[in-house]
Amino acid sequence: MEKVVAVSAGATRPAICSPSLAEVDFRTSVKMSGFFNVSRLRSLQPIKALEESATASVVQESAAISGNNLCQNSTVAKSTNILWHKNSVDKRDRQQLLQQKGCVIWITGLSGSGKSTLACALSQALHWRGKLTYILDGDNCRHGLNRDLSFKAEDRVENIRRIGEVAKLFADAGVICIACLISPYRKDRDACRSMLPEGDFIEVFMDVPLQVCEARDPKGLYKLAREGKVLLGLMIHMNHH
Ligand SMILES: Nc1ncnc2c1ncn2[C@@H]1O[C@H](COP(=O)(O)OS(=O)(=O)O)[C@@H](OP(=O)(O)O)[C@H]1O
Ligand SMILES: Nc1ncnc2c1ncn2[C@@H]1O[C@H](COP(=O)(O)OP(=O)(O)O)[C@@H](O)[C@H]1O
């Protein structure tokens, strides 16, 4: 039995219940965000990065973005002139404005397992409930952000890392970010999870057998792989981590 979410294709669109951005009282939100609070504005001073040897870990820096652990360092190798700019409007303010919690829903699975289909269904269902989502689809990102990357193992690692970083920014913006990419290696997914505060990275594995994916083969990729025209091993090597 395939573990996927069933959605009704013919559902009508209900009204969005939570307030739209236009309905939010601008003055209230400005007050909430503390735009005119001079003491908070002081925090906009750039913070100088420390020498590599004296820095915190990348994880700490990532956590700083999400407001979890305000860290003032950068770990960029040997850089002493990379500054971290704090903003007086933080993730909590944005979440309050949007009335939702920013997070990453990471859908992983074989090609043809239904990742994109599930991502779209989820995005639509949440949108109808007035929640702001954004899909980072592996395929789509390879048209732009990751157009320079191939399907070699090391390029997949970089593909996943970049999408993880972008997903983290979306979550920090208060958006429910749905990332759907093969992401076969557990290590890489764990690295993306560690960029976010505990509980903000929700991993969904499309537990669909290879035979089913191969029978679907909507892009003819498995056929090409069997013919040796694309790297079969790299498409199916994930007896999924
Ligand atoms: N080896 C190989 N050769 C050619 N094309 C391939 C290969 N592997 C994957 N694909 C296709 O690329 C789509 C995106 O892959 P991903 O970015 O999700 O892969 S990964 O996370 O980097 O492993 C992926 O999208 P989905 O089919 O939606 O999974 C495939 O269509
Ligand atoms: N739950 C499902 N049951 C049957 N077919 C599905 C299901 N989910 C997706 N599909 C079909 O499987 C194919 C691959 O789906 P897709 O979402 O593109 O997978 P992926 O993004 O993992 O490559 C598509 O033709 C899609 O219509």
Going from N- to C-terminal start, the domains of the chain cover 27-89, 100-236
Give the closest residue (by CA) to ligand 2 atom 4: 114
DSSP states along the chain? --------TT---PPP-SPPGGGS-HHHHHHHHTTT-HHHHGGGS-BPPPPGGG---HHHHHHHHTTSS------STT-SSPPBPP-SS-HHHHHHHHTS--EEEEEE--TTSSHHHHHHHHHHHHHHTT--EEEEEHHHHTTTTTTT--SSHHHHHHHHHHHHHHHHHHHHTT-EEEEE-----HHHHHHHHTTS-TTSEEEEE----HHHHHHH-TTSHHHHHHTTSS-HHHHH--S--
* Four-way CATH pick for 100-236: 3.30.70.1290, 3.40.50.300, 3.10.560.10, 3.40.1210.10: 3.40.50.300
How far does residue 232's CA lie from ligand 2's centre (Å)? 19
ipTM of the complex: 0.98
Selected residue with higher pLDDT from 126 and 233: 126
Query: In this predicted model, what pLDDT tens digit does every residue of 21-69 receive, in sequence order?
Result: 333 332 333 333 333 333 343 344 444 433 333 333 334 444 445 444 3
Query: In this predicted model, what pLDDT tens digit does every residue of 81-134 receive, in sequence order?
Result: 888 888 999 999 999 999 999 999 999 999 999 999 999 999 999 999 999 999
pLDDT at 241: 61
Rounded average pLDDT over 165-191: 96
- Give me the active site residues, please: 183
Residue 147: pLDDT above 80? yes
How far does residue 138's CA lie from ligand 1's centre (Å)? 7
How far does residue 134's CA lie from ligand 1's centre (Å)? 20
Ligand 1: does its nearest atom lie under 6 Å from the Cβ of 135? no
Give the closest residue (by CA) to ligand 2 atom 9: 114
Selected residue with higher pLDDT from 12 and 237: 237
